[in-house]
A and B are shown apart, each in its own frame.
Chain A
Amino acid sequence: MDKITKTIIRYEWRSFVRNKFQLLLLAIIFIFGMYAIYYGASVVNVQKKTISDVQKIEEDEFYQYQISFDEELNSVDAKRKRDIASNPSYAWFRHGYHAVLPPHNYAALAIGQRDLHPYYHRLTGMSLYYQLFENEIANPVKLYVGNFDLSFVIIYLFPLLVIAFAFGLYSIEKESGVLAFLRIQSISIRKIVVTRLLFYFMLITGLALLISLIGLLVLSNIFSNENFLAAVAWLAGVILYSAFWFSLMFLIISFFKSSAFNAICAAGCWLLFLLVIPAVLNVWMISKYPIDTTHLAELTRRTGLENENDEKEQTEVLSEFLEHNPKYKASDSLFNNNRYAKVYAAFTALKDSHSKKDVDAYNSQIGKRNKWVNQFLWINPAVNMQDAFTLISKTDLNTFLNYQSALTKFHKDITSFYYDRLFWDKSITQEDYSKRPVFKMKESNERWSMVLFSFLKIALILVLIGLVGFMKMKNS
Chain B
Amino acid sequence: MKTYILIAKKEIKIALREKLVLALSSIILVLLGISLFTGVISYQQQQKAITKAQDEKRKEWLEQGDKHPHIAAHFGTFIFKPKTVLSLFDFGLDTYTGTSVYLEAHYQHQFMFRPAQDHNSMIRFGELSSALVLQILMPLLIIFLAYASFTKEKERGTLRLLNSQGVTLTSIAWGKVMAYFIILLTILTPFILGILLLSYWLKTPDTITDLGMRIGLLGTTYMAYIFLFVVLSVLVSLKSSVSRNALLTLLTCWILFTIIIPKTMANFGESLYPLPSMKIYKEGILKDKENGLDGKTPKAVRMAKLEKELLKKYKVDSVQQLPFNFEGVSMQAGEEYGDKVYDVHWGRLLNIFNKQNKLGSYVSLFNPYMALRNISMGLSATDLSASVDFQKKVENYRRIFIKKMNNDMAQNSNYGEFYEYSVGLDMWKSVEDFKYKTPSIYSTLKKYVLEFVSLFSWIILLILLLNYITRKTKLNNG
Contacts and interface: CB of A to CB of B under 8 A. Distances in A.
B100 to A, nearest CB: 4
Contacts of A370: 120
A298 B20 contact: no
> Which of A147, A172, A267, A293 neighbours the largest number of chain B CB atoms within 10 Å of its CB?
A293
Contact of B266 (A113, A145, A293): A145
A50 B280 contact: yes
**Which of A175, A274, A290, A297 has most B Cβ within 10 Å?**
A297
Interface residues of A, number: 89
A136 B35 CA distance: 31
A190 B122 CA distance: 37
B121 A387 contact: yes
Contacts of A446: none
B100 A294 contact: yes
Nearest to A267: B251
B267 A142 contact: yes
A133 to B, nearest CB: 5
A168 B126 CA distance: 30
Contacts of A164: 248
B280 A148 contact: no
A144 B263 contact: no
Nearest to A46: B274
Interface stretch (B36-44, B188-196, B224-232, B468-476): B36-44
A256 B280 CA distance: 61
Nearest to A112: B121
Contacts of A202: none
Interface in A358-377: 365-366, 369-370, 373
Nearest to B132: A279
B271 A138 contact: no
B357 A283 contact: no
Contact of A293 (B31, B113, B148): B113
B433 to A, nearest CB: 16
A57 B148 CA distance: 64
A386 interface: yes
Given A136-B277, A142-B356, A386 B42 contact: no
Interface in A96-139: 112-113, 116-118, 120, 122, 133-139
Contact of A369 (B119, B147, B263): B119
A327 B226 CA distance: 71
B78 A139 contact: no
Nearest to A146: B124
B406 to A, nearest CB: 18
Interface in A290-304: 290-298, 300-303
A210 interface: no
B27 to A, nearest CB: 8
Contacts of B39: 283
B255 interface: yes
B233 interface: no
A275 B138 CA distance: 13
Interface in B346-362: 349, 352-353, 356-357, 360
Interface in A220-257: none
Contacts of A116: 96, 114, 116-117
B183 interface: no
Interface stretch (A258-266, A344-352, A436-444): A258-266
B52 A141 contact: no
Given A113-B124, A116-B117, A301-B78, 17 more contacts: A53-B277, A53-B280, A135-B98, A135-B112, A137-B276, A141-B384, A142-B270, A143-B96, A144-B95, A148-B264, A160-B255, A260-B147, A282-B125, A286-B42, A287-B41, A309-B419, A396-B121
5 contacts: A50-B280, A139-B353, A141-B266, A282-B123, A285-B119
Interface of A: 32, 35, 39, 42-43, 46, 50, 53-54, 57, 112-113, 116-118, 120, 122, 133-148, 152, 156-157, 160, 164, 168, 172, 175, 259-260, 263-264, 267, 271, 274-276, 278-287, 290-298, 300-303, 306, 309, 365-366, 369-370, 373, 382-383, 386-387, 390, 395-398
Interface of B: 20, 31, 34-35, 38-39, 41-42, 45-46, 49-50, 52-53, 65, 74-76, 78, 80, 92-93, 95-100, 102, 104, 109-129, 132, 136-137, 140, 144, 147-148, 243-244, 247-248, 251, 255, 259-260, 262-264, 266-267, 269-271, 274-281, 349, 352-353, 356-357, 360, 384, 387, 419
